[in-house]
């Protein structure tokens, strides 16, 4: 499924590759690129695969999707020395789905599809197990407790009834009726209603929730720690405060817009 999602992403974005094969330049769909191909790109192109650069003319590539850094990276053909070099420091490499912002380059394809860095991320996401939220765990515990109490009540009703000399069949029917009555059949509807109200409250604050159970998880969150919130939201970091000689200035505006004031 992860491999299919990578191929679907390439088709959705209509990524094409400029490839040199047999001395001839061809424009082919990105999913047809294979390791060993020579791919060329310039400003405005999306890199169709992972590869090692052999030409980098003032080449800058934006790799925010992989590194979280919104600033384009200046690339070079000089090999990076070392083992386990962080992805953001591999300036001699270009990665699939990153965007060329300046210059032109040429690379030898080293990985495609699920072998790329984007493909590995997609594979990890496909293998993520859905954990139960605190509310779900509490509801599971409540269900177990109610079931045990209903079973105990059923046994006690039958036991005391037999001691009094009542008919077993009648006692069994009464016990089953009491056990069923103890189960809160309206609880799922109440929980769904409460989560829906939470979704509306978050939507009024500008937060759109895709899954109802995420409302409870987000509602129990007291703090979200991030080094660069602008990278997560707009992919644009914005200065908010300026300190000069002991004086503090607040800065308005969003992203690269020229509106706002100090």
| Beta-carbon count within 10 A of 242 CB | 11
What is the dihedral sign for C-alpha 236, 240, 245, 246?
negative
- Cα–Cα–Cα angle for 28, 102, 239, rounded to 5 degrees: 130
Q: Which residue has the higher pLDDT, 6 or 45?
A: 45
CB-CB contact of 102 with 47 (8 Å): no
Instruction: Provide the pLDDT for residue 229.
Output: 65
Cα distance between residue 113 and residue 49, in whole Å: 8
β-bridge mates for residue 28, sequence order: 17
Instruction: Provide the pLDDT for residue 188.
Output: 81
DSSP conformational letter for 211: S
β-bridge mates for residue 61, sequence order: 73, 100
Threshold 0.75, pTM exceeds:
no
Range in 8-22, 215-229, 246-260 the model is least confident about: 8-22
Q: Could you report the per-residue pLDDT of 147-192, keeping only the tens digit for each? A: 888 888 888 888 888 888 878 888 888 878 887 787 777 888 888 8
DSSP conformational letter for 116: S
Instruction: Provide the pLDDT for residue 2.
Output: 53
Confidence of residue 109 (pLDDT cuts 50, 70, 90): very high
227 carries an active-site annotation: yes
Instruction: Provide the pLDDT for residue 8.
Output: 55
Backbone angles phi, psi at 177, to 5 degrees: -60, -40
- DSSP, collapsed to helix, strand or coil, labels residue 228 as coil
| Non-local CB neighbours of 20 within 8 Å, separated by 6+ positions | 26, 37, 38, 39, 40
Confidence of residue 50 (pLDDT cuts 50, 70, 90): very high
Confidence of residue 1 (pLDDT cuts 50, 70, 90): low
Q: Could you report the per-residue pLDDT of 188-243, keeping only the tens digit for each? A: 888 888 888 888 888 888 878 877 777 777 777 778 777 766 666 666 777 888 99
- The tokens for 197 are 């109200």
Across 69-78, average pLDDT:
87
**Of the candidates 84, 18, 13, 3, which has an alpha carbon nearest to the alpha carbon of residue 51?**
18
């Amino acid at each position: 499924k992860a491999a299919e999602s990578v191929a679907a992403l390439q088709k959705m974005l209509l990524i094409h590759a400029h490839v040199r094969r047999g001395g001839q330049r061809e424009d082919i769909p990105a999913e047809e690129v294979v390791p060993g191909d020579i791919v060329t790109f310039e400003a405005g192109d999306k890199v169709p695969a992972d590869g090692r650069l052999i030409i980098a003319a003032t080449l800058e590539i934006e790799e925010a999707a992989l590194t979280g850094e919104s600033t384009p990276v200046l690339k070079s053909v000089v090999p990076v020395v070392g083992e386990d070099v962080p992805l953001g420091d591999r300036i001699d490499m270009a990665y699939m789905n990153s965007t060329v912002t300046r210059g032109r380059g040429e690379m030898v394809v080293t990985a495609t599809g699920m072998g790329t860095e984007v493909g590995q991320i997609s594979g990890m996401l496909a293998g993520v197990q859905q954990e139960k939220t605190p509310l779900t765990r509490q509801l599971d515990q409540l269900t177990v407790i109610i079931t045990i109490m209903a079973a105990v009540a059923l046994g006690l009703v039958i036991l005391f009834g037999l001691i009094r000399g009542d008919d077993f069949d009648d006692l069994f029917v009464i016990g089953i009726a009491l056990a069923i009555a103890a189960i809160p059949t309206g609880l799922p509807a109440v929980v769904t209603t409460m989560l829906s109200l939470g979704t509306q409250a978050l939507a009024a604050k500008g937060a759109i929730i895709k899954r109802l159970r995420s409302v409870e998880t987000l509602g129990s969150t007291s703090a979200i720690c991030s080094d660069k919130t602008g990278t997560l939201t707009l992919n644009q970091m914005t200065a908010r405060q300026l300190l000069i000689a002991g004086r503090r200035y607040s800065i308005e505006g969003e992203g690269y817009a020229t509106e706002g004031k100090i």
